[in-house]
A and B are shown apart, each in its own frame.
Chain A
Amino acid sequence: MSILEVHALSKSYRQAGGDTTLAIGNITCQVEAGEFVSFVGPSGCGKTTLLMTIAGLLAPSSGRVIVNGKEVSGPPANLVLLFQEYNKSLFAWRSVLGNVRFGVEARGAAAPAADAKARKLIALVGLKGFESHYPWELSGGMQQRVAIARALAYEPEVLLMDEPFGSLDALTRLELEDTLLRLWAELKTTILFITHDIEEAIYLSDRIWVLSRRPSQIVQEIRSDFPRPRHQVTTRAEARFMALRNDIYRQIGNQGTP
């Protein structure tokens, strides 16, 4: 049994004029426990809607999402969605420690244990020494590290990530990719990741689903079986990496402009 199953999922929106637009066409896919899978697709293809629906934050128009054998009807207890907008999703009134502790407390841990665990995770994402800082005192990359630590503090079996590095500069992005892979290997969480950065998807994932434009559908599944641990220079320099990148690029590019 897969840890996450999506069956014939579709989602339509009622627009201001009264018309309905179909954001997600008909998506069926499975994620195995411990896998790192990415959706990659053009911007505006409904990726965020897809992830919000899988996270139980939006109700599907049709189809089903099953997490750990149970059909999703609201946010499932063993799954967390990490938003792209870390500056909107972090609690400005809580310190870094307070934010991460929120993740532990949401799981139902007692206060003293929560503190120790939050501190451990803060160190794991490389923010030791910033425990008493407020999020708005930190750079974008550091804020997203706090958000990642908070999500992992909840110990989700499945972590959904919505273009988490989309608004970071290129170097910070590479750093965070490696941090994420290290944590993933250590904590053995299942990750479903969304990005419009093809190379990021290849670098991080075991499998990649290429999405079409609206209404989004999976047009191709691609395996990214480069040996782990991966390396920003050598992995990306492999000829196969470039071939994969070009392959996916053509898949997305073939769809023409809307």
Chain B
Amino acid sequence: MNRWRAFNWLGWSSFALLLLLWELGSRATPKLQLYFPPVSRIFAALIDALSAGSIVQHLLVTLVRFAEGFLLAALLAVLFGVMLGYFRFLHGLLATLIELLRPMPSVAIIPVAILLLGIGDGMIVSVTVYASVWPILVNTIDGVRNIDRTLIDTGRTFGLSRWRILWQIILPGASPYIVTGLRIGLSIALILVTTAEMIAGSKGLGFFILDEERAMNSANMYAGIVVVALLGYGLNRLFLLIETRAMKWRHGMMARQAA
């Protein structure tokens, strides 16, 4: 009953209406069908590609690249973020560099990466790591620097070593910020994987989409876009699911403060 009510009927019906308009509009104007094939044809193309297995392979390639890039970025960014947040000197040393590099659109690094690493998986993963490191890094630094002094002093008066203070107080204390960074980093990683695949891939969903466009198979192209969209949606949902469990205390606390 609750689930029934929680479901956003209005939102989903407006989405369904949009698809219906697309379908009817496309059928009414055959001249435009190269650009906007009917939804039903895109759906059929999707089913074909799925059953033939080709798109599944592209999906898996993209997924692996994404996972490698995102997880490596998360590891590096949290590690360096904690150090930069903790040691004032390191932060002073590198803050300007970070502030200059961070706003640069990360896709601009792709040509450099191709130059240095060629057009293989290594290049695509590296670019993904580079792009998704920034939001995680900056949020981790903020999180660590925002931890109340009293919390650290509590650890010290209980005789905790620096390492245990880091592990038991700083990391959980900064975790709400870190999670925010991870969520942004996840979206960016997916953007970069797809983009890099379009520019220099011979596999992956980005490559598939561009390849089908060049072959004028617009129904297949849209099928690829649908798969990328579903991938993004699924990964975000998975992230939220894990986050809701891991950060239960935080959600409860925020709800309490808002009330």
Q: Which residues of B contact A80 (CB under 8 A)?
A: 157-158
- Picked from A85, A89, A106, the residue with its CB within 8 Å of the CB of B159 is A106
Task: Give the most central of A74, A83, A92: most B CB within 10 Å.
Answer: A92
Q: In the assembled complex, which residues on chain A have CB atoms less than 8 Å from the CB atom of B249?
A: 92-94, 134
Flag whether B132 is at the interface (Cβ < 8 A). no
Spot the interface stretch: B71-79, B115-123, B250-258. B250-258
Q: List residues of chain A with CB within 8 A of the CB of B253.
A: 92, 134, 136
CA distance A169 to B157 in the complex (A): 27
Count CB-based A-B contacts (< 8 Å).
56
Cβ of A103 < 8 Å from any Cβ of B? yes
Note all chain A residues with C-beta closer than 8 A to B169. 91
Interface presence of B48 (CB below 8 A) = no
Is the pair B158, A103 in contact by a Cβ cutoff of 8 Å? yes
Q: Contact at B157–A81, with CB atoms within 8 Å?
A: yes
Is B156 close to A, CB under 8 A?
Answer: yes
Are B160 and A106 in contact (CB-based, < 8 A)? Answer: yes
Taking a contact as CB atoms under 8 Å apart, the answer to whether B252 and A75 are in contact is no
Say whether B154 contacts A83, CB under 8 Å. Answer: yes
Q: A57 on the interface (CB 8 Å rule)?
A: yes
Residues on the B chain within 8 Å of A136, using CB: 252-253, 256-257
Does A55 lie within 8 Å of B157, measured CB to CB? yes
Tell me which of B148, B159, B172, B252 has the highest count of chain A C-beta atoms within 10 A of its own C-beta.
Answer: B159
SS of B interface (majority): helix
Write the chain A residue with the least CB distance to B153: A57
Chain B residue with the shortest CB-CB distance to A76: B159
The verdict on A228 contacting chain B, using a C-beta distance below 8 Å, is no
The reply to whether B172 and A91 form a contact with Cβ atoms under 8 Å apart is: yes
Closest Cβ of chain B: how far from A154's Cβ, in Å?
Answer: 6
Q: Least Cβ distance of B188 to chain A in Å?
A: 27
Given contacts A93-B249, A106-B160, contact A83 B175 (CB under 8 A): no
Pair A134/B252 contact, Cβ less than 8 Å: yes
In the complex, the chain B residue whose C-beta lies closest to that of A77 is: B159
Bound form: Cα–Cα A79–B156 in Å: 11
Specify which chain A residues have a CB less than 8 angstroms from the CB of B256 in the assembled complex.
136-137
Chain B residues with CB below 8 A from A85, complex form: 150
Whether A165 is near chain B, meaning CB under 8 Å from some CB there, is no
Q: How many residues of A contact B (CB 8 A)?
A: 25
Measured CB to CB, the nearest residue on chain A to B159 is A77
Please report which residues of chain A, range 119-172, place their CB below 8 angstroms from some CB of chain B when the two chains form the complex: 134, 136-137, 154
B157 touches A75 (CB 8 A): yes
Q: Does chain B have a CB within 8 A of A14?
A: no
Contacts of A106 in B (CB 8 A): 158-160
CB-CB under 8 A for A89 and B158, given A134-B253, A137-B256: no
Tell me whether A102 and B150 are in contact (CB under 8 A): no
A88 at the interface (CB under 8 A from B): yes
Question: A8 → chain B, closest Cβ, in Å?
Answer: 23
A55 partner residues in chain B, CB cutoff 8 A: 157
Query: How distant is the Cα of A238 from the Cα of B157 in the complex, in angstroms?
Result: 38
- Tell me, in angstroms, the Cα distance from A102 to B173 when the chains sit together: 15
- Within B236-258, which residues are at the interface with A (CB < 8 Å)? 249-250, 252-253, 256-257
A75-B159 in contact (CB<8A): yes
User: Considering the chains assembled together, what is the distance between the CA atoms of A243 and B58 in angstroms?
Assistant: 87
Judge whether A93 and B172 touch: CB under 8 Å: yes
Which residues on B sit within 8 Å (CB–CB) of A52? 153
**Whose C-beta in chain B lies nearest to the C-beta of A103?**
B158
> Which B residues, 106 to 162, have Cβ-Cβ distances below 8 Å to chain A?
148, 150-151, 153-154, 156-160
Q: What would be 30 A-B contacts, judged by CB atoms less than 8 Å apart?
A: A57-B153, A57-B156, A57-B157, A75-B156, A75-B159, A79-B157, A80-B157, A81-B153, A83-B153, A88-B148, A88-B150, A88-B151, A89-B150, A89-B151, A89-B154, A91-B151, A91-B169, A92-B249, A92-B250, A93-B172, A93-B173, A93-B249, A93-B250, A106-B159, A134-B249, A134-B252, A136-B253, A136-B256, A154-B158, A154-B159
A-B residue pairs, 4 tightest by C-beta: A106-B158, A88-B150, A81-B157, A89-B154
